[in-house]
Structure 1
Amino acid sequence: MTRAWEADIAAECDAWRAALGTAGFSDDGHTLRGPVRWQHPDGRTVIATIEVTITESFPFSPPKVRILDPGLAIELTFHRERDGSLCLWRSDVDVSDAPWQAPERLLDRVAVWLTNSAAGWPSDDDCDLERYLLPDSQLVLYNRDVLTAISGCVRTFTDPATGRVTISGESQRPPSRWRTSKRQDGRRGRRRQPKIGRKQRRLAWVTDIGQVDKPIYDWDSLCTTLGPDAGEVRRLVSIGVIDFVLLRYRRSSATGVLAMAVRTTSGKARFDVRACESADTSVTTRILRAGASAAKLSDRRVAVVGTGAIGSFVVDLLFRHGVRQFTLIDPQLLRPGNLVRHLAGEALVGYSKVSAVKARLAGLGFDVSGVNTRRDEIVTPDQSMALLRDHDLIIDATASPRTTALLAWAARHVDRPVITVCAQRQGTVVRVDRFPLRGGEQHLSALPPLPGPDLGREHGCDNPVSPTPPAAVVAAAQLACRAAVDELILDCALPATLLDVLAPQEPPFDVIGMRMGSAR
């Protein structure tokens, strides 16, 4: 029995096919074929013949469209899948207003595609050359900043655990060509195969090919693109020296990188080229997703006092946002019981919490030389005053009334900001306060504790354990990060208290959501 949703989609497809039929398309029940009128760049009107096939993902994805006859001799190059179907829209097009659902808009799009193709795709900056080759399973990593000035053979390193390949910036001299020895009587001897050393295997050929006018589909088109280097690359691939080719290229004003695995097949008579998924490891690429404020945060100095549950995630978030200068302060070791709410994992149990957090930051691939750790406590006025003088911001994640009072007192004397963060009422409320107050600001009143179950105690240290769940820890860290960034980039737009009610409380906290202290 046909389900209701299937009937709805079938009816939509039938109506769509019927609309193409009125535009002169034939329909054999599977594929539709018909004309598209398009404008050549020289002004001529041309009629092409196309083939349209509805796929199983329609109407949430466009149908497959192939050019059967463009109407005159033009070379079809970019914006095509490997099966020859056209790439007409980007994958981020809003499906709620999908243009392909209207047949006339689909045909208009094909006409524009043909016009651009005939013109050679002027001003097109899509750097996606890997889509035109069969895929290889290997992930290739490279540092684009390092390889910018390098051309020729470089060494690669393969991770035995994951199989990922890293293309280094270390140049490697390739083996010489075949040599012919001379006999004592002056006659030519046998040709000798060049000796291939251990460091001369599994190399990559790196070069810049400039502006790209055509995709690379196979070995022959790769050799055409390589130009004068093609012969040497062919030789090195055939003797098992080069396994990868990495090309820097341009499309209009954009730049791209194509990584390919190359090998011989059929007894070294043929060459196989496949596109590898590749990724740039440079700092430039790593900070692309850090947010617009990353550049402003890179030289700010932040001290985080308390790197337990909330504090560890605060450090992680700020580091990801772009802060690189930290002082982490906490006297405790990481215990197995901490892990469910802590940034660090099992492998770091037994390390100090500050060292464990720094190790996790190092795993992100950034320089952590600016992250200093102190297995210590802040208990004296001298300590607190010195800490504030040496940093642009202090974050107190200790949940200790004594530490909070001490740092708030120091903030009033040094006029440097201190942010305190905590989860309250078993994690149903998270709160951030900033000191000192500015102008006529006021903090929200302290939230009185509610009676609840007795806190559990952890064997081995006999400390009480709050039942605050991990989600509340992360929510508190996010709130503190928001307040910290506001202070560090000198926006100073947030009030002195941010209190987020995560579960309904007694009035006036009976509605989930944010409460704020009064602004200036």
Structure 2
Amino acid sequence: MTSDDFHEYVAYFRQHFEEGLIRAGFSEGEAGWEGSIPHTAGTTRVVIDLPTRFPFRPPTVTPVDHDAVPWSWHRDPDGALCLVAEDDHDGLWWTEAPAFLEHVTAWFERADTGWTDDRPDLDLDRYFQPSTDRRLYLYDDLAQYLNRPVRFSPSSNKTMRIKHGTRPSKALKHSKDRFGYVADLGEVDVPPRTWADISTRIDSKADLGRRIRQQTVAIVVLTYRRGPHGGAIVLDVAPKKDGGTVVTRLRSAADTEAARSARAGVLAPELRGSKVALVGAGALGSFIADMLVRSGVRHLTLIDDDVVVPGNLVRHLVGPDAVGLPKVEAVKQHLVRNNEALADGIGTINRALTTGSDAVDHLRNHDLVVNATADFATTALLHVSAQSLGTQVLSAVLQNDGRTYRIDVLPPLNDAAPLPPSTTRADTTAPPLFEAGCGSPISPTPPHAVVEAAAATVRHAVGLLVNRSLHPAGETRHLHSSAERNQQ
């Protein structure tokens, strides 16, 4: 598509939408397209404006009389109706005027009934303009600070971290710390937009208005609730010359275990008590370990006898600072440092798995053993040991120079048939590479294949841990390149 084609595309959709508004009785004015929206409680005059990014962003709809429509969580700070959620952009459905106007009518119908069965979103931040202070303000459990002074102190990466504070006796204009107060708004049915809205909701004993004027409080942290959910916002506050208060929002985020695990997936709580042994902490094993911990596993035993060398780094989870460390220790350090994993929950064994008694011990003492060694003897040892105990081991391997991954449940669940043998063939287009010493050629498996195979392995591992297996025998997948597909 050329630039001219793009502009014609946009112009067509704009004209098409405007023609639909004209047919619905709207007329164009200085502010946009004005017309009436009928609904259960009456008729409301609105102005519809097409943003410069239309049709890729939806039109805005604003009541002509802002106060004729009740303020709610479904109004933007400028009075516009909050019509389209970020997860409702499929198909750019709003480009058809009749469908969009029907959606606006539905908004008014729901407003007329008081937004029954409303989704309790917590985006209070959007009701305040951003502060010129662009640092990130981090807070932990705010319950311990409620109705108390706090201070935020500079930390790494342009962050400010909350601490218990004392009420300063006078303004501290040159301190690197910023002083504040934590208050509770309670249940918020209509979002506040000004300091007047806030001050009527918080405990008057805090006397925050006076302290803001004296500049001994520069930050106000507000907790609030909406339905079963709780939220928080960090505000930058400063006195106006006329006696009012300027309120802007600071970038803020919770730094709590709940916040760090909220995106781990719905199965994370079930996985916290799971115990997993991972045999092999090389490229594939290191990423399996990382994703297991990110998914919620907090009890992990890493087993490997090798050390990190520079040649490992392109495919391995760890970086140059780990060269020379045992792979199990390097992976553990990475997990503890980067994933908030508890150090005492990760065990390391810096030797190879070679005996049946060790294999049986690991199978008995863990909910699952994952084999990422790509070593046939180790795989066979674990398979036989699992059979003798009536349990399973999960074995993952990359084959065909990274063009295939294979994940076996050994023995398969429910007496299912095992996966058929894989066909392996080396890449003959490039000569093999060898490092010094006696050994096999260096595998040309690319890093992206390692990560993809690790992700698939973790999906199977999670399924086994929560008794919802993906397949009784496992999975084999061929990752052909486009050139290889064209040759077939």
TM tier relative to shorter chain: 0.7 to 0.9
Q: Which amino acid aligns with 2:36?
A: P
Shift of residue 343, structure 1, vs aligned partner: 1.0
Q: Secondary structure at the match of 2:218?
A: strand
Partner of 1:209: 185
Give the whole-Å Cα distance in 2 for the aligned partners of 1:18 and 1:197. 57
Seen in structure 2, the aligned counterparts of structure 1 residues 373 and 89 have a Cα distance that, compared at 3 Å, is: same
CA distance in 1, matches of 2:386, 2:249: 56
Aligned to 1:89: 84
Q: Is 1:127 paired with 2:126?
A: no
Q: CA deviation at 1:235?
A: 3.8
Larger Rg: 1
Q: Distance in 2 between matches of 1:90 and 1:211?
A: 23
Structure 1 or 2: more helix by fraction: 2
For the residues of structure 2 that align with 1:215 and 1:308, how far apart are their CA atoms? Answer: 52
1:7–1:497 distance in 2 versus 1, CA, 3 Å: closer
The 2-side partners of 1:482 and 1:410 are apart by 23
Residue 293 of structure 1 deviates from its aligned partner by: 2.3
Q: Which residue of 2 is the match for residue 220 of structure 1?
A: 196
The alpha-carbon deviation at position 445 of structure 1 amounts to: 4.3
Offset of residue 483 of structure 1: 2.3
Partner deviation per Cα, 1:403-431 (whole Å, 9 max, x = no partner): 22222222222333222211111111111
| SS of equivalent residue, structure 1 residue 205 | strand
What pairs up with 1:498-513 in 2 under 5 angstroms? 498-503=475-480
Relative to structure 1, is the Cα distance of residues 376 and 262 closer, same or farther in structure 2, using a 3 angstrom cutoff?
farther
Q: For 2:267 and 2:204, locate their aligned partners in 1 and report how far apart those are by CA, in whole Å.
A: 45
Q: Which runs of 5+ in 2 are unaligned?
A: none
Give the match for residue 68 of structure 1.
64
Match of 1:189 in 2: none
| TM-score normalised by the chain length of structure 2 | 0.86
1:162 matched to which residue of 2? 157
**For the residues of structure 2 that align with 1:372 and 1:249, how far apart are their CA atoms?**
41
Deviation digits for residues 173-204 of structure 1 (CA, Å, limit 9, x no counterpart): 3245xxxxxxxxxxxxxxxxx59799995233
Q: 1:458 to 1:30 in 2, by over 3 A?
A: farther
Instruction: Give matches, 1:11-26, under 5 Å.
Output: 11-26=12-27
Higher strand share: 1
Contact 2:412 / 2:472 at 8 angstroms: preserved in 1?
no
Q: Which shifted more, 459-468 or 212-221?
A: 459-468
CA contact (8 A) 1:333 1:352 kept: yes
Asked if residue 477 in structure 1 is aligned to residue 454 in structure 2, the reply is yes
Matched residue type, 2:95: Q
Per-residue CA shift, 1:372-415, capped at 9, x if unaligned?
Answer: 11211112222222222221211111112222222222222233
In the alignment, structure 1 residue 405 sits paired with structure 2 residue 380 = yes
Alignment pair present for 1:260 and 2:201 = no
Query: Is contact 2:185-2:198 (8 Å) kept?
Result: no
Q: Pick from 285, 291, 306: which aligns with 1:317?
A: 291
- Taking only the aligned residue pairs, the percentage that are identical comes to 32
1:57 to 53, 60, 81: 53
Could you tell me which residue of structure 2 aligns to residue 142 of structure 1? 139
Counterparts in 2 of 1:461 and 1:272: CA distance versus 1, 3 Å: farther
Per-residue CA shift, 1:195-222, capped at 9, x if unaligned? 9799995233212211224333233333
CA shift at 1:129, angstroms?
1.3
1:435 alignment counterpart: 410
Once the two structures are TM-superposed, the CA of residue 434 in structure 1 deviates from its matched residue by 2.2
The residue number in structure 2 matching 1:27 is 28
Do the aligned partners of 2:153 and 2:177 also contact (CA within 8 Å) in 1? no
Aligned to 2:75: 80
The secondary structure found in structure 1 opposite 2:122 is: coil
Q: Which residue number in structure 2 is paired with residue 246 of structure 1?
A: 221
Q: Do the aligned residues in 2 keep the contact of 1:224 with 1:230 (CA within 8 Å)?
A: no
1:292 corresponds, among 257, 260, 266, to: 266
Please state if 1:391 is matched with 2:366: yes
CA-to-aligned-CA distance 1:425-474 (integer Å, 9 cap, x gap):
11111112222345543333443543545532345997742111112212
Counterpart check, 1:174 vs 2:167: yes
Taking structure 1 as reference, are residues 475 and 123 closer, same or farther at Cα in structure 2, changes over 3 Å only?
closer
- Cα distance in 1, alignment partners of residues 111 and 423 from structure 2: 69
Secondary structure, in 3 states, of the residue corresponding to 1:7? helix
Give the corresponding residue for 1:185.
none
Q: What SS does structure 2 have at the residue aligned with 1:360?
A: helix
Contact 1:156 1:166 in 2 (8 A): yes
For residues 472-508 of structure 1, the C-alpha deviation after alignment (integer angstroms, 9 at most, x for no partner) is 2122212321222222122345132421111289xxx
Q: Secondary structure at the match of 2:246?
A: strand
Task: Mark the CA change 1:398 to 1:454 in structure 2 (over 3 Å): closer, same or farther.
Answer: farther
Q: Give the Cα separation in 2 of the matches to 1:423 and 1:2.
A: 45
| Mapped contact 2:179–2:216 kept (Cα < 8 A) | yes
Residue type of the alignment partner of 1:52: I
Contact 1:389 1:416 in 2 (8 A): no
The amino acid across from 1:166 in the alignment is R
Match of 1:36 in 2: 37
Cα deviation for residue 73 of structure 1 reads 4.9
The yes-or-no answer on 1:423 pairing with 2:398 is: yes
- Work out the CA distance in 1 between the residues paired with 2:92 and 2:122: 26
Cα displacement (A) at 1:330: 1.4
Q: 1:347 to 1:204 in 2, by over 3 A?
A: farther
The AA in structure 2 aligned to 1:483 is: H
Classify the secondary structure of the residue corresponding to 1:495: coil
1:357–1:435 CA distance, 2 compared to 1 (3 A): same
For residue 370 of structure 1, the aligned residue among 333, 339, 345 is 345
Q: Secondary structure of 2:16's match? A: helix
Corresponding residue number in structure 2 for 1:496? 473
* Aligned equivalents of 2:12, 2:176: Cα separation in 1: 62
Amino acid at match of 1:101: T
> What SS does the corresponding residue of 1:209 show, helix, strand or coil?
strand
Q: Quote how far apart the aligned CAs of 1:324 are.
A: 1.1
State the 1:355 CA deviation.
1.9
Cα distance, 1:196–1:17 mapped onto 2, change above 3 Å: closer
Q: In structure 2, the residue corresponding to 1:386 is in which secondary structure?
A: helix
Is the 1:297–1:488 contact (alpha carbons within 8 Å) kept by the matching residues of 2? yes
**Structure 2 residue aligned with 1:188:** none
Confirm or deny: 8 A CA contact 2:150 2:182 kept in the other structure. yes
**1:77 and 1:19 mapped to 2: Cα distance?**
29
1:343 maps to 2:317: yes
The one-letter code of the counterpart of 2:454 is A
The CA deviation at 1:116 is 5.4
1:211-267 deviations in whole A, cap 9, x for unaligned?
224333233333233241452x2344344443322211123443322221223466x
Shift of 1:315: 0.8
TM-score (norm 1): 0.81
